[in-house]
Amino acid sequence: MKAISGVFLLVCMPLGMAKSDNAYPKEKVAEFVVEKLDVTSIPSAIRPKREKGKKTFGDYGYATRKLDDKEALVEAPQGHSQISVSILEENKSGIYVCLNGRAEKPSSQIQRVFLLTLKNGDRLLKGRESWKEFASCPAIGGAESDSAADAYGE
């Protein structure tokens, strides 16, 4: 019986590993990010004010104004703020994105590189500021505390 269990594990293990590699899409990545991003994990200066039960751009009523494979532009319901999302790199550890938005108070531009990863449970992408730098997305504006959000937006 132990031998059968061992063989079963050896057969199933590659299947489980292959499934985890397919968690991130290869096409329409920007659309995936807009649909699955937990916006409570991005800097407080550009995200919407927290509301109970709301986590995604769709929950907050954001409209997608531009969408292609590598870029998206979402706009708040009243049109007061916009957030652009540019896909920088995709790998097994997650999706590196450039988030760019305008802070309401004080009015300033904020741009940061975030690593988005899928967490178990709610299957939403959680973001945390990345140590990795990209020439196409230099850090701009924002207070130190805004860029220090952890993977759970706290």
What are 108-130's pLDDT values in tens digits? 888 999 999 987 656 899 999 99
pLDDT at 121: 55
Residue 53 lies in a domain: yes
What are 21's two structure tokens? 């590699």
Residue 64 lies in a domain: yes
Q: What is the 8-class DSSP label of residue 148?
A: G
Residue 34 lies in a domain: yes
The one-letter amino acid at 147: S
Q: Distance between CA atoms of 84 and 77, rounded to whole angstroms?
A: 15
Residue 9 lies in a domain: no
Residue 19 lies in a domain: no
Residue 1 lies in a domain: no
Cis ω before 106 (30° cut-off from 0): yes
What are 1's two structure tokens? 């019986």
Global pTM? 0.75
Residue 83's domain spans which residues?
24-148
What are 4's two structure tokens? 């059968």
Residue 82 lies in a domain: yes
Residue 125 lies in a domain: yes
Domains in the chain, number: 1
The listed range with the strongest mean pLDDT (13-27, 40-54, 93-107) is: 40-54
